[in-house]
Amino acid sequence: ASSLPNTLSPFLDHVSAASISWTMEIFQWKEDEEDDCEDADNGGQKCTKKYSYSRSWVEAPVDSASFAHPDGHDNCAAEFPSNLESSGSVEAPPQSVVMSEHGTPSGGFVLDSGLVSSLPSVDLGNRLKSSAPSSGGDPTWDGSGQLTAQMLHGNGEYLLTTTGFPQIGDLRIQFAGQLAQEATVCAVQQSTEGASSEYTFEALPPRRFGW
């Protein structure tokens, strides 16, 4: 977790995972368009465009200037922060992911890249700290510029730039990590001619278990 960007790392400083990823959303007005059609006297149909507007979390800023009816639906040119990608991930170095009985590297099994890639993806929202250490002052996110850790608040599911109902331009960030609390190791002890000891451990050929 210490490899995360400085804006995010204070909230997950004690999480051990093979990888940690984040995705960011922004609270925006969005426009939905549909055709409202009725039968015409000539046997065809007469259609007009109808537009509806709602506020929701979206994956990218929305240009409200292009709306059919922009009045009252202004997204205030809100943007993602200039110092943090809207999505990304950090990964543990090769041969550094270890499964052990007590959760420490000592006496454990180093996982190769194939085993690491098979670890499940887990939502990390419930591991987020509620706030970052204070840096003095009370900074708030205003819809553009740089985002600091002190502008974010954990609510047990996301990091958000608000503690109440979101306003246009607010951000929320979700985290996922590749990790497992338990694992089963399958191995076969085999006799190997010429080995320094009577038995050695070799790679287990693919086979079914439990059938």
In sequence order, what are the beta bridge partners of 53? 31
In degrees and rounded to multiples of 5, residue 34 shows phi and psi of: -145, 155
Task: Please give the model's pTM, rounded to 2 decimal places.
Answer: 0.80
- List pLDDT tens digits, range 153-182: 999 999 999 999 999 999 999 999 998 877
Buried b (16+ CB within 10 A) or exposed e, 173-208: bbbbbbbeeeeeeeeeeeeeeeeeeeeeeeeeeeee
pLDDT attached to residue 185: 61
**Separation of alpha carbons 29 and 73, rounded Å:** 6
The stretches in the chain having pLDDT less than 50 are 209-211
pLDDT attached to residue 13: 78
- Specify the amino acid at residue 106: S
pLDDT attached to residue 146: 96
